[in-house]
Structure 1
Amino acid sequence: MAEMTEMTAPSAGNDLPKGFRSAEQGWPELHRIPHPPHRLPLVGDILGASRRTPLQDSMRFARQLGPIFRRRAFDREFVFVWGAELAADMADEARFAKHVGLGVANLRPVVGDALFTAYNHEPNWQRAHDVLAPGFSREAMAAYHPMMLDVAGRLTDHWDRALVAGRAVDVPGDMTRLTLETIARTGFGHDFGSFERSRPHPFVTAMVGTLSYAQRLNTVPAPLTSLLLRRAGRRNAADIAYLNRTVDDLVRARRSASGDGNGDLLDRMLQTAHPETGERLSPENVRRQVITFLVAGHETTSGALSFALHYLSRHPDVAARARAEVDRVWGDTAVPGYEQVARLRYVRRVLDEALRLWPTAPAFAREARRDTVLAGEHPVRRGAWALVLTAMLHRDPEVWGPDAERFDPDRFDAKAVRARAPHSFKPFGTGARACIGRQFALHEATLVLGLLLRRYELRPDPDYRLRVAERLTLMPEGLRLHLERRTTAPAKADSLTEEAPSEPRCPVHGAGD
């Protein structure tokens, strides 16, 4: 449930934050920051750029230009950061804060001032955060675990049918079904029936539409938006209306049932008063938070699972080692318990390494709280901001070595993690506004990987080459795997007393969303 990316391409279609009109105003020594060659008058750095892959374009420029660079789109300049030293400096909460970048700002017509789209000064963020944070406590997570298992069982039933029929499975599609049903069931007591449908649920279609439209806005000059995106704008309005109707119906049903949700997230939104002020969330705020959790709660986790399964299929030695751990820890236990998931430490490393290479929320923006100097070298004025390219931060050879592009879960063994510079692994954002649901996502993803490894051998299509689709978040495109049912029986489980279970380690310092 990672936070959505702030922005993945220079935007020409939205207003900049109040008091900040251009990078020249906020970065006094902008000339010292490199930009792509062959800049064109009026339009800027558009040569070789793609509307479909703006993040991957920025990664390409990052490799050419170094740990800090800039891009121009029409009359606006944008600063990108990915060097570990620079990113660590921007993680300093005393000097920098979350900036609602232009890509995320484009989603405000959908979710307004919800958790990941709220500006720092808007009170609804803190109000909702304080009410909902207990919903991600250890006790709450343990209560969600049986429902996660139930939804995972629907996935394996679906995959068993595909195996019998000799069909490859649609990994991104099925992971999206899984994670949507999981957050809907655990958070809101709702069943979308995703595995009973031959096509994605209309909620998913509408969600993908709004995310894609938000990204397209980043590539169109504001004066041309109504002309170039007229039809897309009408479709986006219809998508937003559908999301609103779906959530309104869900909330209405819960209110009619007198809040019988066993203390889930929706119950907390409807019934819990703020612990200090006594205020309750307004109906509009409830709607916005529900949409936020349904979208963010499944979109990024499904991508993380899909990338992890891709790498497991391509690295049979890693898959064998992870499978051996599942067999050792779970044994022939039919239903793994909540504590047993936390003991899958190598499986968790596989997930972390997939998130390192392709963090599904691949960037976040930070703005200066006051006039300061970034990494002792670049003066930054109050209100100026830069985009941290997480996907490149996770590839910084100064941190990850010359083989940073190589998939290697042992980068996350305890010794390696302790030796690594802080703030160099940020798949969930940073600071007070980091993803509130990260422990939910990590537990769900680790559980599902363990269940799939225990049940199947994963066979890749030898002709497939990883393609990454971008819609503010990242997802493998066209990934299909062939399955074989395991024939070897798992060993007896380790004694749970041998090693104290632990919560999945959070790679983000701080709390919040």
Structure 2
Amino acid sequence: MRNDWSGQTFPHPPGRLRFVGDVRSVDPSRPLMSMLQHARTLGEIFEFQVFDQKFVFVAGARLGAELCDESRFGKDLPPALTSLREFAGDGLFTAFTEERNWGLAHDLLRPAFTRPAMQSYHPIMVETLDELFAYWDHQEGPVDVSRDMTKLTMETLSRAAFSKDFGSFTSTEVHPFVPAMISALRTAQRLATLDTAPGGALIKRRLRRRNAPHQAYVDDLIDGVVAERRAGPASDHDLLGIMLQTPHPETGERLDDLNIRFQILTFLVAGHETTSGALSFALYYLARHPEILARAQAETDEILGPDPDAVPEFEQVAKFRYLRRVLDEALRLWPTAPAFGRGPREEVTLSSGHTMRPGDWAIVMLPAMHRDPEVWGEDAEEFDPDRFLPERSRARPAHTYKPFGTGERACIGRQFALHESILVLARLLHRYDLSGDPGYVLDVSERLTIMPEGFELTLTPRTPAALTGGPAEDDQEPSEVPPSESTCQAGLNAISQTCPSGSDT
């Protein structure tokens, strides 16, 4: 895990100290933002040393695209992801590719994201969103966007994954599973920061002991649901049912109950935060750009008509082409799973001139790669949904837009996330006018993933325009999002958060 790159060196932040390395060069509460700042001066590939652990970051689009070549590279697990195995075991995003359960779960869960399965999730998404709207309609003053989007996506996923209602909008009490899950997850992330620190082993024992009741509660609740479902009538109406009832089509193998728990945790944790962050960033930019908001609302009016409570049919969600471009552009600037690790299948020489051998790994920093002016132009920092017009997407080099990761470890749930996100944006913009605090400065919170912090919106009921003539952009191709790696890779926080959380399954 020392990632020594055969002694090769890279640019690094100034002020490196003999024993602790570059620790002083990063804000432990905002490691990603620190790394993005360093990327502006250190170039397309650089390193960060924490005690005797080397982290190599790739920030340039050209080199990042090279690492996405599946014939030469695959997913690698940096220390923070390895530590998260204490929480999520060999679930999809923390499993090693060669592990039996990764291939088995990947094959078994593919049917959970086919078109018929997505059609079955659509009513769950609609019902949960109705609860959010009812909750908002009884609130006074601005709403906390990231908080409420997180409740929404957590509730939607828990119902779709294992038919569990946590009462996020219908109960005045927080379900104890939620804080227990957060505590267990944060502990797993903190463990990664201690692998190379003096006295780290002692601190890790204390953290595990303190977290044990939280971890036990999370494990017991899910194990209880699994046991109850095994004892009941067979059903494949949700992800849990598919995992319980579906054998591998070729081998007949099934997942054991422990791995089923890990898969449920994977979907709950990785899936809800990435989607809530994507929605929150999209709403931030819509509120900051009235002309883009007006164009998006015009699209919802053309498709949904004059009723502010209109609900898109499943087939209609794909018609919101401009909203999709808004979401794509928000994910370009702030991919909510902002990094992934890559390692070579055999010894290779990179275009940067560096030699990379099996056992070496690099972390692709997506917010930097997605801002590279060589690919995105001198206005790469600006928010412009029309970057994702079909002709402009086709003109860009391959593998330079990766909000969902890359390769065979692509995020298996990306279609779920995209469908939910567009459905939420369409109904929200059709129903409300948005206004934000003009004095708010975007503050990016770095948790398992990234999302705006302290971002509030005032929502005013609106009367949609009575437009006719059909969807304005119905004849255009949908925005291109290549298969990728990202609902899922987590962690890389605190000092190992200098490897911001990633995105592979």
Answer whether TM exceeds 0.5 for this pair.
yes
- CA gap of 1:383–1:226, structure 2 versus 1, over 3 A, is closer
2:286 is equivalent to residue 309 of structure 1? no
1:126 equivalent in structure 2: 103
Alignment of 1:98-247 (within 5 A): 98-162=75-139, 166-198=140-172, 200-220=174-194, 221-228=196-203, 232-247=207-222
2:331 pairs with one of 355, 378, 382? 355
CA distance in 1, matches of 2:167, 2:198: 42
Alpha-carbon distance between aligned partners in 2 of 1:330 and 1:83, rounded to the nearest angstrom: 41
CA distance in 2, matches of 1:254, 1:429: 33
Aligned-partner Cα distance in 2 for 1:311–1:152: 21
Partner of 1:252: 227
Amino acid at match of 1:250: V
1:232 to partner: Cα distance: 4.2
Single out whichever of 498-507 and 252-261 deviates more from structure 2.
Answer: 498-507
Residue-by-residue CA offset, 1:137-196 (whole Å, 9 max, x unaligned): 11111121111111111111111112xxx3211111111111111112222222111112
Q: Deviations over 1:216-262 (max 9, x none)?
A: 33433444235556664434333322221221122233223313453
Counterpart AA for 1:417: S
Distance 2:401 2:174 in 1: 32
CA distance in 2, matches of 1:225, 1:471: 22
| Residue identity opposite 2:115 in structure 1 | R
Which residue number in structure 1 is paired with residue 61 of structure 2?
A: 84
Question: Which range is displaced more, 301-310 or 447-456?
Answer: 301-310
Q: Pairwise mapping of residues 396-435 of structure 1 onto structure 2 (< 5 A)?
A: 396-435=372-411
Q: Contact 2:321/2:476 (CA < 8 Å) preserved in 1?
A: no
Local SS of the residue matching 1:436: coil
Cα deviation 1:3-55 (Å, max 9, x = unaligned)? xxxxxxxxxxxxx1xxxx342xx245x23x21111111111112232221111
1:49 alignment partner, one of 11, 18, 26: 26
Q: Give distance in 1, aligned partners of 2:478 and 2:118.
A: 10
Which of 427, 432, 451 does residue 475 from structure 1 map onto?
A: 451
Q: Following the alignment from structure 1 to structure 2, what is the Cα–Cα distance between the partners of residues 144 and 242?
A: 27
For 1:494, what is the secondary structure of its paired residue? coil
* Alignment coverage as a number of residue pairs: 485
Structure 1 runs (4+) greater than 6 angstroms displaced = 500-504
- Residues 107-129 of structure 1, C-alpha deviations (whole Å, 9 max, x = no match): 10111111010012101000011
In 1, Cα distance between the equivalents of 2:71 and 2:326?
Answer: 33
Match of 1:435, SS state, is coil
Q: 1:176 to 1:34 in 2, by over 3 A?
A: same
Q: 1:189 to 1:471 in 2, by over 3 A?
A: same
Cα RMSD after superposing both structures: 2.2
Instruction: Give the whole-Å Cα distance in 2 for the aligned partners of 1:131 and 1:500.
Output: 35
Distance 1:119 1:425, change over 3 A: same
| Alignment correspondent of 1:3 | none
| Paired letter, 2:233 | S
2:326 pairs with 1:341: no
- What amino acid is aligned across from residue 506 of structure 1 in structure 2? V
Query: What residue in structure 2 maps to residue 465 of structure 1?
Result: 441
Number of the residue aligned with 1:270: 244
State how far apart, in whole Å, the 2-side matches of 1:228 and 1:49 are: 22
Distance apart, 1:493 and its partner CA? 6.9
Distance in 2 separating the partners of 1:247 and 1:38: 47
Q: Relative to 1, partners in 2 of residues 1:505 and 1:186: Cα closer, same or farther, differing over 3 Å?
A: farther
Classify the secondary structure of the residue corresponding to 2:252. Answer: coil
Distance 1:140 1:42 in 2: 53
1:449 is aligned to 425
Report if aligned partners of 1:372, 1:380 keep a CA contact under 8 Å in 2: yes
Q: Does residue 367 in structure 1 map to residue 357 in structure 2?
A: no
Q: Against the structure 1 CA distance between its residues 286 and 230, is the aligned structure 2 distance closer, same or farther, given a 3 Å change threshold?
A: closer
| Residue equivalent to 2:489 | none
Letter in 2 for 1:412: F
Letter in 2 for 1:241: A
Map 1:274-313 → 2, pairs under 5 A = 274-313=248-287
Structure 2 CA distance for partners of 1:435 and 1:117, relative to 1, 3 Å: same
Q: Unaligned regions of 5+ residues in structure 1, if any?
A: 1-15
3-state SS of 1:194 partner: coil
> How far 1:352 moved relative to its partner?
0.9
Separation in structure 1 between the aligned mates of residue 257 and residue 193 of structure 2, nearest angstrom: 34
Residues 172 and 477 in structure 1, CA contact (< 8 A), matched pair in contact too: yes
Structure 2: gaps (5+ residues)? 487-503
TM-score by length of 2: 0.91
